[in-house]
Amino acid sequence: MSSADSIGFSRRQVRDIPLVTMTVTEYRAHRCRCGGCGQVTTATLPQQVAGSPSSYGPNLRALATYLLVFQHVPVERCARLIADVTGARVSPGWVSSVLSEAATLVAGSIKLIRALLTLAHVLHVDETSTRIGTTRRWLHVACTTTLTLLGLGDRSRDGANGLGVLPGFRGVLVHDSLSLYDGYPDAQHQLCGSHLVRELTAAAEDHRGQRWPEQVRWALAELNKQAAKARADGLTEIPPERAKVYLESFHHGIRVGLSLHPRAPGRKQSPARNLLERLQRRVGDVLRFADFPGWVPFTNNAAERALRPVKTQVKISGCHQSETGAAAWPTVRSYLDSARKHGLSAFEAIHRAFTGHLWMPPVALDA
């Protein structure tokens, strides 16, 4: 081939990772005895190795926490996975203890997240059930597009207050129609449009000869489209000429529905009547998204997305076995989800916590 001319080459690439092997780093604290008085002086060990003759480092601790909290791996499987992949024969007890340690390490970030959420303009809140052993408990969430805070509590106002956000909140609270969220008079409210649409759909199926459910649902959907268009156009409100027909349709549908479903004697009313009265009584809280299209959303999807990992955790890993673990998990998850909203990976965020470089949310009041 000495006379051949090169005409280029074809290219193939193989991406791989090096095999993970645990390494052992030994630290020796040198001791000296004074030749005059006999006093023995010992060098100071680094803080992370001072407490035990043998310990696991921040990389393994970060990996265990990442698997537990972000990938929902059960404790025993997490210990086995680490042993199989890295050669580190960690125990399930050690894996459990790392979660509590991580919750302590991220406390500073959580404190700032809580303060920033209290000052937010719009806050999404919701709750879902979980279990500690055989006991049913509730996890509450308060979140924005940039921050997430999860916390354990009862399904009550005291449980929601346990997050430390709602008592001092003064912005717009986006939530479903659960009554516990109505007890914050200093906040404005936006009832979740998705929940209302589902209720209107159910009413349409239950009362097939009546048109008001479809009419109100259509009006809400069209107002949401107009709000999105106004937001995209940089407008602070929906132009009145666009909103008028949909607002008239919304109110007309409610009036028709109320005439078809008069109040029954006593306190208990039909689902349709309850829905119609809520739409009429809380019209400002139903349509606030249309009044402020630039910053009030139509749905509470942000809070529902924040709670999905809780359901995944219960399905894959089962219930928490202790109150300590049940409280530590949402604390660490809050830190990871908030960091991810700012562009960090979950593993990078928890690794920074274990290596002394804790991620802190930027201080911005429009969180």
Asked if residue 174 has pLDDT above 50, the reply is: yes
The answer to whether residue 243 is domain-embedded is yes
pTM of the model: 0.87
Report whether pLDDT(223) > 50.
yes
Stronger pLDDT, 201 or 130, i.e. the higher one = 201
Q: Give the CA diameter of the chain.
A: 104
Angle between helix 271-281 and 240-260 (nearest 10): 140
> pLDDT tens, 2-21?
677 888 888 999 888 888 88
* Per-residue burial over 56-70, b = 16 or more CB atoms within 10 Å of its CB, e = otherwise: bbbbbbbbbbbbbbb
Of the candidates 203, 196, 197, 219, the residue with the CA atom closest to the CA atom of residue 257: 203
Domain membership flag for residue 210: yes
pLDDT bracket for residue 367 (50, 70, 90): very low
Provide the 8-state DSSP code for 332. H
Q: Using CA atoms, how far apart are residues 316 and 308, in angstroms rounded to an integer?
A: 12
Chain centroid to CA 243? 33
> In this structure, is residue 229 part of a structural domain?
yes
Q: What is the pLDDT of residue 222?
A: 97
C-alpha distance from residue 115 to each of 142, 236, 264 (Å): 12, 27, 46
Residue 265 φ/ψ, nearest 5 degrees: -60, 145
Q: Which residue has the tokens 């359901």?
A: 311
pLDDT for position 35? 79
Query: Which range (120-134, 234-248, 336-350) has the least confidence?
Result: 120-134
Q: Is residue 282 part of a domain?
A: yes
45-72 pLDDT per residue, tens: 777 665 666 678 899 999 999 999 999 9
Report the number of distinct structural domains present in the chain: 1
Which pLDDT score, from 0 to 100, does residue 326 have?
Answer: 83
For residue 50, being part of any structural domain is answered with no
126-135, 176-185, 260-269, 315-324: least confident range: 315-324
The answer to whether residue 253 is domain-embedded is: yes
Q: Is residue 223 part of a domain?
A: yes
Residue 52 has what pLDDT?
A: 67
Whether 329 is in a domain gets the answer: no
Range of the domain at 244: 193-263+270-291
